Amino acid sequence: MLNIHFYEQLQEIGAYEPELTSAMQAVIKPGMTVLDIGANLGYHSVLADRALQGSGKVYAFEPSSIVGELLKKNLADNNASCVEIVEVCISDTIGETVLHAVPISGFTSIIKQNAYGPQKHITRPCTTIDVFCQKRNISPDIIKMDIQGKEARAMEHATTIISKPGVQIFVEFWPKGLVEAGSDPKEFLMSYIHSGWHVHSLETNTVIKTERDYEDLLVSLRGIKPFTYVNLHMYKL
């Protein structure tokens, strides 16, 4: 079982999400607390662990048992001692949810339409960012989130955490996936911009400040194949 998207990028450009990788590595410092929400194979968790240099914590959220064993192996092989695996879905509800997993690709999503291919359905516990952080008594400095369209809903329940001065968020922006999850992509993005957040589209290297910038981003997304998404770096000005 492979994460097909991961290996396709390695074959095509020799790196995985290089813009996101560079941006995260530039801001993660020893002593920080990092939430890697949608850790999958642990690529970004391992790199965050190295940046922490033994001081700090990475919480790697990966509820799928299908990729969980590979995640554990990758962390062990890389001596990622600062990383703790959290086998819980981050969402907008607390309790249990059905996770739609595609064993052949490693993709998982709470949203059935956002997991492409033959699926295995797994019931997993779910919680919100605010509740998790409150129970653990932690205040993250960095949040990286890639949960296949549920990002906007999850961030609605992270208001306590993201109001912290200096917190930085790296979030996948996939309009189609957001729509399938019941969110309005434009409303999601513009609500942060209107609240004084800096929003930088990493792959297109553009700063989104206005509705015109948003429309230009959608045009750019049409040329990004096959998943038409970008990663956003967001922080409060």
* Span 10-31, average pLDDT: 87
pLDDT in tens, 97-124: 887 666 544 555 444 444 444 456 778 8
Distance CA 51, CA 190 (A): 31
Burial (CB count within 10 angstroms: exposed 0-12, middle 13-18, buried 19+), residue 108: buried
Residue 9 backbone dihedrals phi, psi, to 5 degrees:
-65, -40
Burial of 37 per CB tally in 10 Å (0-12, 13-18, 19+): buried
- Span 165-194, mean pLDDT? 95
CA-CA distance, 228 to 222, in Å (whole number)? Answer: 6
Q: What residue spans define the domains of the chain? A: 4-236
Check if the beta carbon of residue 126 is closer than 8 Å to that of residue 93: yes
Q: Which CATH number fits domain 4-236: 3.40.350.10, 3.40.50.300, 3.40.390.10, 3.40.50.150?
A: 3.40.50.150
Q: What is the pLDDT of residue 2?
A: 46
Q: Which residues contact 100 (CB under 8 A, 6 or more apart)?
A: 108, 109, 110, 111, 112, 114, 115, 119, 120, 121
* pLDDT at residue 137 is higher than 50: yes
Mean pLDDT of the chain: 88
pLDDT given for residue 1 in this prediction = 40
